[in-house]
Structures are given as structure tokens and as C-alpha cells.
Amino acid sequence: MSYLHLAIISPLLFSVFIPIFYKKFIRIHTGWFVLPLPILLFIYFLSTIPKITNRQTVTETFNWIPSLGVNFTAKVDGLGLLFALLITGIGALVVFYSIYYLAKEKERLNTFYVYLLLFMGAMLGVVLSDNLIVMYAFWELTSFSSFLLIGYWHEREKSRYGAQKSMLITVFGGLAMLGGIILLYIMTGTFSITEIVAQSGDIFHHSLFLPALICVLLGAFTKSAQFPFYIWLPDAMEAPTPVSAYLHSATMVKAGIYLVARLTPVFGASSVWFWLVAGVGIITLIWGSVFAIRQTDLKGILAFSTVSQLGLIMSLLGVGSAALHYEALSENIFTVAITAAIFHLINHATFKGSLFMAAGIVDHETGTRDIRKLGGLMPFMPITFTISIIGAFSMAGLPPFNGFLSKEMFFTAMVRVTQMDIFNLETLGILFPVIAWVASVFTFIYSMILVFKTFTGKYQPEKLDKKPHEAPLGMLIPPVILISLVVIFGFFPNLLSESLISPAMAAILPSLLNAGGEFVVHISFWHGFTIELFMTLGVILLGITLYKTLPKWKRMYDLVPEKLSLFRFYDRLLEWSQSGSYKVTNKYMTGSIHSYLVYILAFFIFSLTVTLFWKDAFKLDTGNVSSIGIYEWVLAIFVVVGSISILFIKSRMTSIILLGAVGYTVSLFYVLFRAPDLALTQLVIETISVALFLVCFYHLPKLQRYETRMRFKLTNALISVGVGAVVTAIALSAHGNKLFEAISKYYVENTYEKAAGQNMVNVILVDFRGFDTLFEITVLAIASLGIYGMIKLRLNRRKES
């Protein structure tokens, strides 16, 4: 257990103390106790930057289940560090924000911070685990803690609905990912990502490569809200705003991005990977941006915008994987996609976090998040307005903010796709820049809606619950810090390139580096009159025009049929699976013993008949049979006639007597077949049984004395004939297939020698196999006690009296 391990699980350990703080220090907001932890962790991870920049990694192993190859190996490399800094940094800001957002009198703060710390530790575990099984465990813990956080206000129905939906979808993907991990293990024999990457060349042509790829991507797509699995994210907005800002914009939804980036060295060389990641990413990008405009809830817009931006990053990672196909790093113009992905990842976390916090402030200070009720808030909330406008401009990709730079790089990457000569990109590649451009126009429009519909326009005090005013200072500090990062990264983009982006790229594309080499990342603010610049100009021009004419064409959205929406589809799928399985269960679980017997017997007939024919086992051997005398014929006819006539007898008494007749005939059979003990026992027991039958059913109360013949039913008849036939067939074939001699010779020889008896059956019962007899006695004892209990014990009667 090293400091690194301690750092990863410290949030989990610390969460144990939260309820204690909450109970002991009732006057102090519990968040203050939580706050130091993410700050300390942030500083700790900052301190590893020099090592990472020198292309070293920090690896620590803690044995967990060594025999299964499952060890808690923590590894910090460029990619892991980037995510760890995001998680702890934004975590600290979110905790600070939540101290002012959640009132300590009204909310159950202890549960909130326990869940939040659980999530933080789980997320650190996901990004810093080198072992896939450990990563999966943390991955599910993030789903779980996210479920708890979305359902934080569990008394609201929508919270519960959103929590359940996100749980179902992300756990579905998580399980698929577990399948992919196991397939990877089958191919490589290890769970360690480092070792799997080292073997990536060997497994490329393995038959399990493609299934593993698809399973892993299902996990990544569901977690990162890609098309069509994005539907849980808008409903997750029922969570408290700090949670939305932290989980559903900056960290958890990027776990899928992390997974894709982490496994790019393994799968990236495959064309399926390229098309799935880039294709799904770009579809998500345009889908999310188009439907964001329809939303009227601030957080709804932000949710769709998160979906869209995650699609953007995903498509960049997909396009960047194509770089693996080109040698010579100095001329490899395709690595820019990976640079853009990492840079936009950081940028998105900064501006989306601040936008969520701003939306939270608006909600907190006005009582609503509906943009139809909001408007003209600028004079009341100047600081929030400034935060929002910078965030939204950065999101729209306007200079001089960091979003502009990453959007330019995004366009560069998309334009360069058309220059690739692999995977049919010569012809289909043109779609990428076109879709990217259209999506950027929509991004521009919803970013404008977000700011201007809230802060400008007509002020409508009658629609607001509270009189709006600026938020308290504490609530403003975190978004201000984030928004200043937006501006700083906008003006000094190379601040991070050396320390974070280049090592992260080295982790995503390790095969492109020679020993000691590193990616040279230089993000220039001004790169001349290139095609990307004109694309941005086009976005701005068309975006402004469309925003101005929004009321005219917004009605177009009503044309989209509600029935085709993926949200409706999910609901109906859930409903259908519930009612469907209920119907199916009701169909066969009828509650009637008869039908269950029919299933059992039908299966008995079916399986035995099939086996008999399949194995060609039926065999009739007439050589080894004994002769049949007249007595045997008579007795056999007696048994047959007796047992069949029971079926047609109306009276119960007669059928009981017929059963007795069959029993006595059986004991006569025992006489004929030289079994005196059996004959004796059978006679006695048959007599007692018949007496019992008579006692039970003759002295019954007089109700339902009418007696009916059994009604003939074809299925019953068929099944019983089938059972009889199968038993006969098996008896005949078993008799025909004698494989070895019986062991009875031993008993014949030793009954007197060793056990001092002459009656072999009795000696077997009490000497050779005495244990059987012991427990048979127990059975009789239990049966008699049970009968006594049934007759004597009348709890119902006692209750009544």
C-alpha cells in the first residue's frame, strides 16, 4: 500500500467520518470538513507533474487476488494524471460551491457528502487503475454513486426515474465492458493494460478481437452518453446542480472518453474502431446540438450540450486513432485530432462546469430554470452574467476564449480526415467536416440562447418566485475560478501543452514515439487565413442569422414526431419488457398442479425419447429371458385389468378396493418371483394402506358426496400413454443391455460366513446395508410424528376461539 493507493482510496476512507462530523458539529456546514481532501489530493497530483513530463510513470502494485491476476496496480501516466487533476480540482470547486448551494438546515448533508466522496474515490480509481478488473470495480462504483446522487431528492418521482434510468443504462454498458475485459483476458492472459498494450499487435487478427472491441465500446458509449445511449443524461439533471456540474459534465461522463483513449493503443488500428468511435461521436455531436435548441430548461440545454460536446471529443479520438496507420511522426498531420481531443476535454470541463454553476445560481436566486420565465436578469446578476457569457462564448467557439482554439483544432482535424487514404475515407471522409460544421452552427445557436434568453430581453418579475439578486460571494468563487481558467487557457494555450497534453498524447499513441521522443504540441492562437478560420467565420455569420430568426424556424421541431423519440422508445421498451414478462409468466405459471405435472411429464417423455433415438439405445433382447407360465399370465392380466379399470370406475370405494386388489396381485408376483420377505411385507402394508384409505374417505363429512367418473381428456391420455410407453421402452432396452455381472455372488457366499445368517435379504438389510434401514426407520418415525401433528395441532381453531 503506497501513498498513491492511499490517495485513490482516501475519499472512500474519509467518507466514513462524514456522518460523525455531521452529527458532532451541527453548527458548521459539513462541506467545510470535506473541502481539504480534494485540495490536498490536487496538490499531491500536481507534485507528480515533473515526473510525468519526463516521460516517466508512477506505478505501484498492491496485491489483491494474485492467484487470479487481479491486483490493485495504480499507474499514473499522462492520461491518468490529466483526469486525476480534473477530478480533484473540479471536485474541490464543486464541494466549495455546494457549501453555499445546499442549506445546512434543509438538506441531509451527511448523505450528500458521503455519496460525493464515494464518487470521487471511484473516479480516481477508474482513471488510475492499470488492472482492468479493478478499473471495472471502480467503474461500477461510479455508476452506483451517480445513481445515489441523482436520486438525492428521493422523495421526488422524477429524481427516482432519472436515477433508475441512468443506473439501467450505465450498468448495461458496464456489464458489456466486463465481457470485453474478459475477452481481452482470454486473448492476452493478463488484466494489466500495460501488458495488453504490449501485445496489441498479436491479438489484432484474433477471432475474439472484434467482440471485445464492441463490448468495450458499449461500456464507453453508455457511460459517456453517446448516441443512442445519451437519453439518461438529460434525466440525470434532476440531481442537485453541484452534482450535475461535477458528474454529468466534467468527470463521470468522461470516463467513457477515458476508456476509449486508454484502449486506443489496443484497438485503434482497426477500421471498425475508427468508424464506430468517429461515426458515433459525430452523430452524437450533431444530434445533441440540434436537440439542445428545443429545450426550455437551462440544465436541459446544458445536458444536451454536454452530450454534443462529448460526441465531439469522441469523434476526435476516433479520427486520431487513424494516426496509428501513418509512420513518421514529423509528417504525421493526423495526431492533431488527439491533441484537439485532450485540449477540448480540459476546456469543456472548465466552461461546462462554470455554466452549470451559473445555471445553479440562476435557479437558486430566482426559483426557476425555465428560459421562458427568465429574462432581463443582467442588471440583477452582473457577475453571473459575465460568467455565463464567457462560458457560452467559449462553448460556441468564439475568440479569444479556449473553446475557440479547440474548435479550430477540431476543424483542422476534420478537414484532414478528407486527406486520409484508408478505410474508404477518400470518398466518405467529406461527411466529417460538413457534419462538424453544421453541428457547430447549432452549438453557436444554443450557446446564444443560453445567455441571451436568460440575461437579456424582457424582465418578467410576475413569473418568478423570488426577487432576483446576485448570489453570495462563496457561490461565485468556484465559477469565477473556472471561468478565469477559460480566459487564461484562451490567451496562453501552451501553458498546458508541455506539462499535460504532450504526456497524455504519449499515453494514447505510444507506438508513434521512438525511445525518448515526445509529442511537440504547439497551439497557436493565430495561424493565418486558413480554411478553419473561414469555417469559424461561416459558423458565426450563419449562427447569428439563425438565432435572429429563431422563432420562425423553431416550429420545425414540432414536425419531429414525438413517437420516434428515443426517450419514448426507452419508456416503451421498459414497459413492454415488464408487461411482456408478466404475461409470459402468467401464461405458464397457472397455479394449477395439473399443468405443472403436464410440463414435467411432457419433458420426461420428450427428453427420454429423444435420447433413446439419438443414441440408438433401444434394444429388444429375447435371448436372455425366462419362461412364462400360466400363473404369470393370469397375474399379469389381473394387474393390467385392475389398474386400467380404476380409470373408469365412478365410485371411490371401488377404486380403493381395486387398488388393494392390484397390491395383493403384486405380492403374489413376489411369491412367484421367489421373494418371500417382499410378499409378506407387501401383504401387510397393502392391508394397512387400504384400511387407511377407507378410514380417510369413508368417514369424511358428507359434502360433495356426488361421485363422478373421470372426464376423458386427450392430453392427459396422450401423456399417460407416452409415460407408459417410455417406461416400457427403457425397461426393455435396459434389460437388453446387460453390461456386467451382478455383485450378488458376494452376498450368497458371505451371508453365512461373515454375517451368520441364512436369510440373505434380511442380512443385507441389517448387516451389509444397515444404514439404509436406519434411515428408513427414521422416515417412518417422521411420517408418524407428522401425522400425529397434523391431526392434533389446530392453530386456526385456537385463534378463532
Partner 1 sequence: MEILMAFVIGILFMSATYLMLSKSLLRIIIGTGLLSHGAHLLILTMGGLKRGSAPLLGEHAEHYTDPLPQALILTAIVISFGVTAFFLVLAYRSYQELGTDNVEDMKGTEPND
Give the separation between CA 617 and CA 602, rounded to whole angstroms.
20
Q: Does the protein bind partner 1 through residue 772 (CB under 8 A)?
A: yes
Least distance in angstroms from the C-beta of 102 to partner 1: 40
End-to-end CA distance of the chain: 68
Out of 125, 256, 265, 663, the only residue in the binding site for partner 1 (CB under 8 A) is: 663
* C-beta closer to partner 1: residue 104 or 652: 652
Give the range of 49-57, 216-224, 502-510, 686-694 binding partner 1 by CB under 8 A: 686-694
In the complex, what is the shortest distance from the CB of residue 624 to partner 1, in angstroms, rounded to a whole number?
A: 8
- 268 within 8 A of 324, measured Cβ to Cβ: yes
Considering the complex, what minimum distance in angstroms separates the CB of residue 735 from partner 1? 5
Widest CA span of the chain, in angstroms? 116
Closest CB 165 distance from partner 1, rounded Å:
24
Give the shortest CB-686-to-partner 1 separation in angstroms. Answer: 9
Strands (E), 551-704: none
Size of the site for partner 1 (CB under 8 A): 96
Q: State in angstroms the smallest separation of the CB of 649 from partner 1.
A: 10
Q: Single out the residue of 515, 622, 706, 800 in contact with partner 1 (rule: CB under 8 A).
A: 622
Residue 790 has, within 13 A of its CA and on its CB side, a CA count of: 6
Q: Is 795 in the site for partner 1 (CB under 8 A)?
A: no
The CB-of-628 to partner 1 minimum distance in angstroms stands at 5
Segment near partner 1 (CB under 8 A), from 13-21, 189-197, 260-268, 728-736? 728-736
CB closer to partner 1 out of 199 and 687: 687
d(C-alpha 392, C-alpha 782), whole Å? 80
Question: From the list 752, 795, 798, 800, which residue makes contact with partner 1 (rule: CB under 8 A)?
Answer: 752
DSSP letter for 493, please.
Answer: G
At residue 666, what are phi and psi to the nearest 5 degrees? -60, -40
Binding part of the chain for partner 1, among 52-60, 147-155, 156-164, 666-674 by CB under 8 A, reads 666-674
Nearest C-alpha neighbor of 426 from the set 417, 413, 435, 414? 417
Give the residue, chosen from 182, 430, 495, 675, that forms a contact with partner 1 under the rule CB under 8 A: 675
Residue 425: closest CA among 438, 437, 435, 416: 416
The backbone torsions φ and ψ at residue 364, rounded to the nearest 5 degrees and listed phi first, read -65, -35
Of 77 and 686, the one with the shorter C-beta distance to partner 1 is 686
CB closer to partner 1, 560 vs 634: 634
Nearest to 69 by CA among 136, 149, 132: 132
Distance CA 501, CA 346 (A): 10
> By CB under 8 A, is residue 780 in contact with partner 1?
yes
Identified binder of partner 1 from the candidate list 36, 211, 474, 786, rule CB under 8 A = 786
- Per CB under 8 A, the list member of 593, 630, 739, 795 interacting with partner 1 is 593
Per CB under 8 A, 464 contacts partner 1: no
Name every residue whose Cβ is closer than 8 Å to that of residue 94 and which is 6 or more positions away in sequence. 116, 242, 245, 246, 353, 478
Among 724, 798, 799, 800, binds partner 1 (CB under 8 A): 724
Please list every residue from 229 through 248 that binds partner 1, using CB under 8 A: none
- Of 242-250, 293-301, 447-455, 619-627, the window that binds partner 1 (rule: CB under 8 A) is 619-627
Which range in 155-163, 358-366, 495-503, 672-680 contacts partner 1 by CB under 8 A?
Answer: 672-680
Which of positions 628-647 make contact with partner 1 (CB under 8 A)? 628, 632-633, 636, 639-640, 643-644, 646-647
Apex 259 CA angle, 253 and 264, nearest 5: 135
Minimum CB distance to partner 1, residue 578 (Å): 12
Contact flag: residue 39 with partner 1 (CB under 8 A):
no
Indicate whether 584 belongs to the interface with partner 1 (CB under 8 A): no
d(CA 301, CA 241): 14
- Site for partner 1 contains 791 (CB under 8 A): yes
Distance CA 616, CA 716 (A): 28
- Site for partner 1 contains 494 (CB under 8 A): no
Q: Which is nearer to partner 1, 481 or 729 (CB)?
A: 729
Residues numbered 116 to 145 that lie near partner 1 (CB under 8 A) are none
Among 529, 496, 506, 513, residue whose Cα is nearest residue 344? 496
* Residues of this chain, 693-722, that bind partner 1 according to CB under 8 A: 693, 696-697, 700-701, 703-704, 710, 713, 716-717, 719-721
- Select 571 or 767, whichever has its Cβ closest to partner 1: 767
The yes or no reply on residue 597 touching partner 1 (CB under 8 A) is: yes
339 Cβ partners below 8 Å, 6+ apart?
409, 501, 505, 519, 521, 523
Q: Look at residues 155, 154, 143 and name the one whose alpha carbon lies nearest to residue 251.
A: 143
- Report the C-alpha gap between 236 and 53 in whole angstroms: 37
Shortest approach of partner 1 to residue 580 CB, angstroms? 16
Q: Is residue 406 within 8 Å of residue 366, measured between CB atoms?
A: no
149, 652, 799, 800: residue in contact with partner 1 (rule CB under 8 A): 652
CB of 161: closest distance to partner 1 in angstroms? 22
For residue 675, the tally of other CB atoms under 10 A from its CB is 15
SS3 516: coil
Cβ proximity of 464 and 366 under 8 Å: yes
273 neighbors 193 (Cβ within 8 angstroms): no
Among 555, 615, 674, 799, binds partner 1 (CB under 8 A): 674
Alpha helices, DSSP H only, in 456-592?
473-491, 502-508, 531-548, 550-553, 566-588
Stretch that binds partner 1, among 210-218, 373-381, 424-432, 650-658 (CB under 8 A): 650-658
Residue 73 β-bridge partners: 61
Kindly tell me the burial class for residue 467, based on how many C-beta atoms sit within 10 Å of its own C-beta (0-12, 13-18, 19 or more): exposed
CB 319 within 8 A of CB 325: no
Least distance from C-beta 582 to partner 1, angstroms? Answer: 9
Q: Is 668 in the site for partner 1 (CB under 8 A)?
A: no
Rounded CA-CA distance 778/782 in Å is: 6
By CB under 8 A, name the one of 108, 373, 463, 735 that touches partner 1: 735
Q: Does 544 bind partner 1 (CB under 8 A)?
A: no
Measured from the CB atom, the residue of 13 and 727 that comes closer to partner 1 is 727
661 binds partner 1 (CB under 8 A): no
748 near partner 1, rule: CB under 8 A: yes
Give the other-Cβ count within 10 Å of 568's Cβ: 13
